[in-house]
Chain A
Amino acid sequence: MSRIGVFICHCGENISRTVDVERVAAQVGNMPGVAFATDYKYMCSDPGQTLLKKTIQEQKLSHVVVAACSPRMHEKTFRKAVESAGLNPFLCEMANIREHCSWVHENREEATVKAIEIVGMMVERVKKNRVLPAITVPVTKRSLVIGGGIAGIQAALDIADCGHEVILVEREPSIGGHMAQLSETFPTLDCSQCIMTPKMVDVANHPKIKLYTFSEIELVEGYIGNFQVTIKKKARSVDEDTCTGCGVCMTKCPQKKIPNKFDQNIGMRTAIYVPFPQAVPNTPVIDRDNCTWFKSGKCGVCQKVCGPGAVDFEQQDRLIVEAVGAIVVATGFDLYTIDEKPKGSPIKGYGEFGHGKIPDVIDGMTFERLASASGPTGGRILRPSDGKEPKQIVFIQCIGSRAREKGISYCSKVCCMYTAKHTMLYHHKVHDGQAYVFFMDARTPGKSYDEFWRRSIEEEEAVYIRGMVSRLYQKGDKIVVMGSDIAVGVQVEIEADMVVLATAVMPQKGADTLAQKLGISYDKYHFYSEAHAKLRPVECATAGIYLAGACQGPKDIPETVSQASAAAAKVMTLFSKDKMEREPIVARVREAGCVGCFACKKVCAYGAVEEKEIRDRQGNLIKVVAYVNPGVCGGCGTCQATCPSKSVELDGYTDEQIVAMIEAL
C-alpha cells in the first residue's frame, strides 16, 4: 500500500487566485493511497522544500506529488529535495496546475474541479512509478574534431590546451580551410594569413593534437563517451615522416598547368603540390588524376629528385580506428555557383548572369584570391580574361541567397560585410577605379560592422545602389550590368570591366553523407541541426556530438571562433568526470515479447537501438531482439509508440502509467 504525500502550491497568488487550493488539498487527502495532503504558499522556497523533506520522514511517505507549476520549471528542484529525504527521485511527480489550469481559466469553481482532476491523475500515475537507478556511462577522454578550418582548429586547440587528446581530421591536404584563402578580414582589415597561420602551426606542434590531413571519416560507431571512429587516410604518395618539405619535387614536376582549387582555379599548380606555401603539414601530395606517372607509368621525376626518398607511388589508402568520447563537427561551408545545374537539382543557376560563362564575372572567394598577397596575381586586381586592371568594378550581393526560387531562402549573412571589405580593398589597390555595389539590404549587425560598411561608402567612395541586377551580358570587352536604383526609381546601366558576385554560403558537399554516418540531423539545405536553437546551440540532438562553425549555418569568423570555443567547453564539461551520469528515462525492451521487426530501430532519432542475439544454453540462436543502449537513448518514446507488439517501454512513461492517468479521469 502506497503512502502518497500531496503538496499543493499557491505559487504566491498565481494558483490560489483561481484555484481553491485548500479545497484541493482536502479532496485529494481523501483519495485512496494518499496519506497526507497540504497546501503551502511557495513550495519551491527553502521552507517549502523543508516542509516536503520533513513530511516525507514524519509520515513515512512512499511517493510524492507536488501540484505546482510546469515540471520544466521545478521538477529537478523537487526531485532533488525528495532524494535528500532518502526517497528515489523518480518517485516524485509534478501536477501542473499553473500553466495547465490557473493561468488559463477564470472561473474559480471550474478551475478548482480541474485542478483536483489533474492532481488525481498524477496520484494514480505516481502509484505505478518505479525506482529508477541512475545510469552511469564511462567516458573516453579523447576528442575527435572533424574539419580543419578555423572552427576545427579553435576547438582542437581549446580542448588540447585543457590537457585532453584531440584527433583532428581534415579532408584536404592542408588544414586552414576557407579562412586561409581570404586576403583580409572584416571589420579590422587584418591579414587573414597573418592571424591564421600561427594557429595552424600551433595545431601541428601541439603534443596533444594528432593531425590527419587528406583523410575522411569512414564510419562512426558507439555513443556518448564511447565512440569508435574509422578514419580513411588517403594515399598521399609522399611519406609524411621522411619528407622535409624542401619543395624540389614541385619545382621539377613537368605538369605545371593544373588549376589550383585553393586559388579558385585561377592559379596553376603542379601534379605534386602543396595547396599554398604556408600549408600545414608542409608535405606535398600527388594528384593522381593529373600525374603522368599514374596516367602512363612514365616520368617519376619527383621520386628521382627527392633527396630523402619520401615519394612513394605504391602508397595505399589506410583505415585507422580511434576511440573517442566526444565529436566536434566543424566541416564548414561551400559557395554556390551560378552555373547550370543538372536536372532534378533543387538549386538552379543564373542564366541572366551568363551561367558562369562570362570570364570576368567572378565570385567573392575568387576576388579574395586576387586581392591576396599570396594569390596568383600577387595581390593585384586583374581580370582573368586579359590580365588588365578593371577600372569599373561592379559587386552584386545576394546571388542565390534570399531567392526561394533558386532553392535558398536564407540570408548568407557574411556577404554584406565582405562586399564592403572588397570595395575597400579595391579602392586601396586601384586608386583611379570606381566600385559599384548592387544590394537589396545591407545587413551589418555586429560589433563595429555597420561603421565598417558606412566607411566603405563615406570614405572609400563605393557607390551603393539599392536594387537587384536584372541581367549581365558581354559587350566587347565590357560587361553591361542592367540594374535599377529603387531610391531614384529609374533603371541603371553600367559598363563594367569586372563583376563580382556575392554567392550564397552553402554546406559542404557531402554534408548529408557525413551526418548519416554520425547519426545527426540536418535541415533541408544540409546544414546540421542543433538540439535547441536558443538554449543548446552548439550541441546536436545526438549526445556527445557538438557543432562549430558554418556547417550549422552561415557564420562569420568571430561567430565561428566563439562557437568553436563553446563546443570545446561542452566537450571539457563532459570530460570533467570519469563517468557520466544521466537521467534514467530510457526505453527498455521486453525481450520475451519482441519479435525482432526493428521498427523501433528505423524510427529512433538517436541511433540507440541495437540488435541483440538470444541463444539457448547450447549456443543456438533462438531469436534476434532489439536492445536499447541506455547511454545513447534520448528518452523520446517514439519506439514505444511504434512497437507493434508493445514490447518497448519508456521508463517513467510506461503504458501502465498513462492508462492509470486516463482511468483516473
Chain B
Amino acid sequence: MDARVKKKKMILSQGTMDVDFVRKVEALSDTSVRRCFQCGKCSAGCPMATFMEHPPNRVVRLLQLGQWRRILEGRSIWYCASCETCSTRCPNKVHLASIMDALRKLSWDAEGPSKESYVQLANKLFLQNIRSYGRQYEMRLAAVFNVKSGQFLKDLSLGPKLLAKGKLKMFHSKNRNLSEIGKIFTRIEEMRKNGEAL
C-alpha cells in the first residue's frame, strides 16, 4: 500500500465516518467493535501481524471510526489466517476473526479498494469462468488475471511445466448442464438484489 495513503490525515465527521458499513460488519460477525478499548492483545498474539500494514487492533480501531476504506485498501484481511487466537484471547469478547471474515465478504462489492492484493479480482475471474464454461478454464484465468492486474509476465515460466504435466489445458471444455449453472448464478444475483444474501 502507498505509504502516503496509509498515513493520510483522517477528517472525521458524521459524513466521513461510515456507520452503516460498520453496522453491516457487526451484523455479519455478530460482535461489537465499540467494545474494543485498544488493549492490543489481539495484535500481540497474531502470527500474521508482522505482515499486515494494519495489525488486528488497528483494523478494529479503523472500524470504530468508520474508516473501512483504509482497511480494504490494504492486505491485512487477506493475511489473516483465521486461527482465531485473537478472538479466543480478547478480554472484551470482540470476535476479530469473524470481523475479518465479514470484511472479506463485504470487500466483494466495495469499489476501488482491494487493488493491491488482487484477491477479489482472482475470485471474480474464477466465478466468471464457472459461469461461462460450467467449470474452470485455468489458461484463461491466468491470462486475464495477468492482463487485468497489469503483471503480464507473472508466473509465466510455470506455464510450460504445467502444460507438460497436463495440469493446464490449452482449450476449454464445457459442462453439459451449463444452463442449470446459469440458473444458480441468476438466483444468487436475485437474492443479493433482494438483500437475502451478501
Residues of A participating in the B interface, judged by any CB pair closer than 8 Å: 391-392, 434, 436, 454, 457-458, 461, 463, 465-466, 485, 487-495
Contact = CB atoms under 8 A, between A and B. Distances in A.
Contacts of B8: 490
A381 to B, nearest CB: 16
Contact of B38 (A391, A466, A494): A466
Contacts of A458: 32, 34-35
B92 to A, nearest CB: 9
Given A485-B61, A488-B61, A488-B62, A392 B34 contact: no
Nearest to B32: A458
Nearest to A392: B13
A486 to B, nearest CB: 9
Contacts of B141: none
B65 interface: yes
A369 B17 CA distance: 30
Contacts of B12: 436, 463, 465, 492-494
A487 B13 CA distance: 18
Given A392-B14, A488-B58, A494-B12, 20 more contacts: A434-B13, A434-B14, A434-B17, A436-B12, A457-B37, A458-B32, A463-B64, A463-B65, A465-B65, A485-B65, A487-B58, A488-B61, A488-B67, A489-B58, A492-B9, A492-B10, A493-B10, A493-B12, A494-B13, A495-B13
Nearest to A436: B12
A490 B9 contact: yes
Nearest to B40: A487
Contact of B10 (A454, A466, A485): A485
Contact of A488 (B32, B34, B65): B65
Contacts of B35: 454, 458
B161 interface: no
A488 B10 contact: yes
Interface string B7-44: 11111111001000000000000001011011000000
B76 interface: no
B98 to A, nearest CB: 18
A436 B35 CA distance: 16
B57 interface: yes
B11 to A, nearest CB: 5
Contacts of B67: 488
Binding site of B, secondary structure by majority: helix, strand, loop or mixed?
loop
**Of A436, A463, A466, A487, most B-chain CB atoms within 10 Å:** A487
A151 B32 CA distance: 41
Contacts of A461: 34
B13 A454 contact: no
22 contacts: A391-B14, A392-B13, A434-B17, A436-B12, A454-B37, A457-B37, A463-B17, A463-B64, A463-B65, A465-B12, A485-B10, A485-B61, A485-B65, A488-B10, A488-B65, A488-B70, A489-B7, A490-B6, A490-B7, A492-B12, A494-B13, A495-B11
A458 B32 CA distance: 8
A457 B35 CA distance: 8
A457 B62 CA distance: 15
Contacts of A493: 9-12
Contact of A487 (B6, B11, B17, B38): B38
A66 B37 CA distance: 58
B135 to A, nearest CB: 44
Given A457-B34, A458-B34, A491 B14 contact: no
A295 to B, nearest CB: 49
A465 B10 CA distance: 12
A299 B23 CA distance: 65
B61 A487 contact: yes
A461 to B, nearest CB: 8
Contacts of A434: 13-14, 17
A491 B57 CA distance: 18
Contacts of B38: 466, 487
A492 B58 CA distance: 15
Contacts of B65: 463, 465, 485, 488
Contact of B57 (A454, A465, A487): A487
Contacts of B32: 458
Interface string B51-74: 000000110011011010010000
B2 to A, nearest CB: 13
A454 B93 CA distance: 14
A313 to B, nearest CB: 56
Contacts of A489: 7, 58
Nearest to A391: B14
A549 B91 CA distance: 36
A495 B16 CA distance: 12
B10 A491 contact: yes
Contacts of A466: 38
A458 B67 CA distance: 18
A436 B32 CA distance: 19
Interface in B75-116: none
Contacts of A454: 35, 37
